[in-house]
Structure formats: structure tokens, C-alpha cells
Amino acid sequence: MTKVAEIVHFFEQKISSVLTVDGFPPETKKDRYIKEGGFFVRVADGEGNAQTIKLSDTEMTNLIQDLTLAVKHHRETKLKLYKEIDERQRKSK
């Protein structure tokens, strides 16, 4: 298993939450069939309470595509809001 990503958040000098993604690659089984790879996504709080979900390569691909679209939408919305603020400031001058 390989660590793919880890994001740690702190609050008042203590760990408040941790997001960890570990991956395991596809492999050949004894009968020469391929065993699909995947990922473990784990979310833990600062006290060690955690939940883990196993995602297949396909599920992770879908999640990445959905997240990419969501981030794009957020960026477009942010730029639109900046433009509106700029236009209001220009009108008020």
C-alpha cells in the first residue's frame, strides 16, 4: 500500500482532523486474472476516531471527475463575484 495524500488540519495547536488516501495497485492473481486496485480514504478526528472507505479505481476516477467539476464551478463563481464587486466599486466612484 502506498500513501497518496494526507491533509492535516490543526485547531489551537492540536490536530483537529486528518484526511488520508492510501492506494493499492492492481495485481495478477494466481489464475492470471487481474485483481483491481483501489484506494482507502480515511477521515479521522484529533482523538483518533476514524472512518475508512474503500474505493475501486473506477469509483476514485468518478470521484476525481466530480471534484474537478465542482472546483471549476467554485472558481467560476468566485471570479464572477470578484467581477461584481469590481463593477460596484467602479460605479460608486
Q: pLDDT tens digits for 5-35?
A: 999 999 888 889 999 999 999 999 888 899 8
Dihedral class, residue 34 (left if φ above 0, else alpha if ψ from -120 to 50, else beta): beta
User: Which of 1-15, 37-51, 61-75: highest mean pLDDT?
Assistant: 61-75
Instruction: Give the integer Cα–Cα distance in Å for 10 and 7.
Output: 10
Instruction: Give the integer Cα–Cα distance in Å for 20 and 53.
Output: 11
Tell me the pTM.
Answer: 0.77
More confident residue, 66 or 88: 66
What is the predicted pLDDT for the residue at 61?
96
**CB 16, CB 10: distance < 8 Å:** yes
Q: What is the mean pLDDT of the chain?
A: 93
What is the count of structural domains for the chain?
1
What is the predicted pLDDT for the residue at 91?
84
Domain span including residue 10: 2-92
